[in-house]
Amino acid sequence: MAARTIDHAFTATSLRSAATDPTFAGALSFMRRRFTKDLAGVDAAVWGIPFDAATSNRPGARFGPQAIRRASAIFDNDPQYPFNRDLFAQMSVIDYGDCLLDYGNHAETPAAIERQATTILDSGAFLLTLGGDHYVTWPLLQAHAEKHGPLALVQFDAHQDTWLDHEGRIDHGSFVARAARSGIIDPAHSIQVGIRTHAPEDCGLRLIYGHEVEEMTASEIAAAILERTAGRPAYLTFDIDCLDPAYAPGTGTPVAGGPSSTKILSILSKLGALDIRGADVVEVAPAYDHADITAIAGATVAMYMLGLRAERLAKG
């Protein structure tokens, strides 16, 4: 026991060191990574945005980052399935904490998110964000596009998020329309997976509807994503309501008829060739969850995003 420590999020001596905290104890950073604002030598930063003032149905996603961090404690330091590797052996990852927001001044929220995201991106670190409602993806896309140019958007969601948009409106259902019209994403190379609602327009993105996800294999869906993005720099956004409510009840706008976590994780595992420049997991609302089902799903999706990043770094 002499070599074992607890509270690895604070006691870690290396950004690539393994944690030895018991699953049921210790500081709850994402996957026990060190809590720090020091971005020197960091390959990837995990960051929370506890914001849900843009929701159109049930609020509560402001508690999503906390819930996802807590659920991520189930990941020990054995090789992570299905990547069969210690994700942190060659990839330095930190938990950057949360975005600082003024809960009483939502008009300043988008600029605050974009500004703080830009600080992380300017360091060269890959940014994995934990939401928060889906509005947060709008300023995140702005920050990433400023660095990488127009992005191919890969969106897992039950909703198209192309509802009517007005400049300055804070709405979690409009960011795709705004990003398409502003040139931040390239609709001709963007795709939405799991859609189970109708919106006013598709903005030129390809849609794979919920019933098509059921009919297609995971390999076919992954191939469609890779074909559509065609090697472009991509942003991967995952709304947890992409999953059927049986697998993700803890979300603001659940829609029946969605895929299982098994199907979606299988798709994600096959996206190693996708040039992911940034990613987020949003809309986890733990107040409506049961037994941490949704938080565990969100934490697992986030872990897969880091796994894809680790595989890409290993290949050079």
Q: How confident is the model at residue 158 (pLDDT cuts 50, 70, 90)?
A: very high
Q: Which residues pair with 192 in a beta bridge?
A: 155, 207
64-97: pLDDT as tens digits: 999 999 999 999 777 899 999 999 988 999 999 9
pLDDT of residue 4: 77
Give me the residue spans of the domains in the chain: 8-315
Instruction: Give burial (CB, 10 Å; 0-12/13-18/19+) of 20.
Output: middle
Q: What does the block give as tokens for 264?
A: 């979606």
Specify the CATH superfamily of domain 8-315.
Answer: Ureohydrolase domain (3.40.800.10)
133-153: pLDDT as tens digits: 999 999 999 999 999 999 999
Q: Which amino acid is at 235?
A: Y
> What is the distance between the alpha carbons of residues 195 and 156, in angstroms, rounded to a whole number?
8
pTM value surpassing 0.85: yes
